[in-house]
Amino acid sequence: MDEKGYVFTPMTVLLFIPIIIIAISYGNIVNEANLLANLATGGDVTISTATSVYSNIEKAATDAGRNSAYNATRKVIDDNNFFVSGDSKSYIRQRILDSVNANVINSTKEIEYQTGRQVYINNILIDNYTNATFKLSDITINQTDPFGFYVNVKGGIPVKVVQKGQSFEGRTPPISVYVTIEGLEDPYVWIKTKYRSSNIIYKYPYYTNIAGETNYYFDDDVDKQENIINHLYYCLNGTNNPSNITPRSYYFVDPNGLSFFDRLENKTTSADANITRMSTFIIGDPLYEDHGRADISRLDREYFAKPLVIGTPIKIGKSNMADPSGVTFYLSPAYKTYFKLKNSY
């Protein structure tokens, strides 16, 4: 009988049984589906937590590389003293290591807080670290061009993420990030010119090396009316220098020049690969009193060389080409030949 007083026959009751069974079964399916969804979601968070750890190591290496390179230039400039030969890379590596360790520990603790997971690096719970997850042997740096270097973090370091019985275990992939040195001040020029000049490292844009044939395009256009040879004058002027302080000459690839690390160490010649070397031009004549003569080649390492490297002017018509500061520009015969520049135009 129902609540209204109707009486159900036995057959009617039997018809209701499948509906009840289906309802009970459907409820179980929904509960199991919710459980599976929660497990899947939890697993996704656990895996994404590990991915975030990898990503933070990569970001930390990039930031640490740039900051360490900057600190190295400031140390030389502020202390008025170059690094001992061969020591600048060690200095930068150590500071990269310290910074990567600090950043990875702090960022991973934040991930733990946000996700409720426990993270282990090198089989140690991240909360138990004080200041080191990586060793110096895990960090290397190498150059493939003059205007930056790669920071490499060794792969294979175990990472484990745990939460309520769920666990993800993996190993870090090898990480290699490029760190630009463009925009940093060149300590070599700063100290060598006795605090009279500074130069910022920015890449001269017109250089090409195609099938081993180098071209600087320094004399693509000669303006006899303005007494200018381009793109040589453009390189000297440092046009588009973001500091808006001109003139500050661009840097250009020069297999006979000095690498970034050579400049930190006051080298006169380089032992680094020739693809990592660069040169720039000195604007004006800041060491005129020391040289006692004006006709010194303005290529940076030649300008500072002992014995003196004598240069010759470039004539445009009857006048000598001047740099953007108005001083006659001199260049050694060897580099005129190398740059394919004429003595007169």
Kindly report, residue by residue over 131-183, the tens digit of the pLDDT: 899 999 999 999 999 999 999 999 999 999 998 777 889 999 999 999 999 99
What is the phi-psi region of residue 91: left when phi exceeds 0, alpha when psi lies from -120 to 50, beta otherwise? alpha
* pLDDT at residue 273 in the model: 96
Integer Cα distance of 110 and 55 in angstroms: 14
* pLDDT at residue 241 in the model: 57
Say which residues have a Cβ less than 8 Å from residue 157's Cβ, sequence separation at least 6. 121, 122, 134, 138, 171, 172
210 three-state secondary structure: strand
Residue 268 is encoded by which pair of tokens?
A: 């006169």
Kindly report, residue by residue over 65-84, the tens digit of the pLDDT: 999 999 999 999 999 999 99
**Mean pLDDT of the region 2-14:** 47
Q: Which of 264, 263, 258 is nearest to 276 (CA)?
A: 258
Contact 85, 100 (CB under 8 A): no
- Kindly report the pTM of this predicted structure: 0.84
Integer Cα distance of 176 and 318 in angstroms: 54
Contact 138, 243 (CB under 8 A): no
Q: Please determine, for residue 8, whether its predicted confidence score (pLDDT) is greater than 60.
A: no
* pLDDT at residue 44 in the model: 56
* pLDDT at residue 28 in the model: 41
Q: Determine the straight-line distance between the first and last CA of the chain, rounded to whole angstroms.
A: 117
CA dihedral 246, 247, 251, 252 (to 10 degrees): 120
Q: Look at the block and give the residue holding tokens 């057959």.
A: 11
Phi, psi (5° rounding) for residue 227?
60, 45
Kindly report, residue by residue over 177-212, the tens digit of the pLDDT: 999 999 999 999 999 998 888 899 999 999 999 998
Integer Cα distance of 49 and 118 in angstroms: 10
Residue 4 is encoded by which pair of tokens?
A: 């209204």
Helices (H) and strands (E) in the chain, counts: 8, 17
Q: Which of 334, 206, 207, 336 is nearest to 345 (CA)?
A: 336
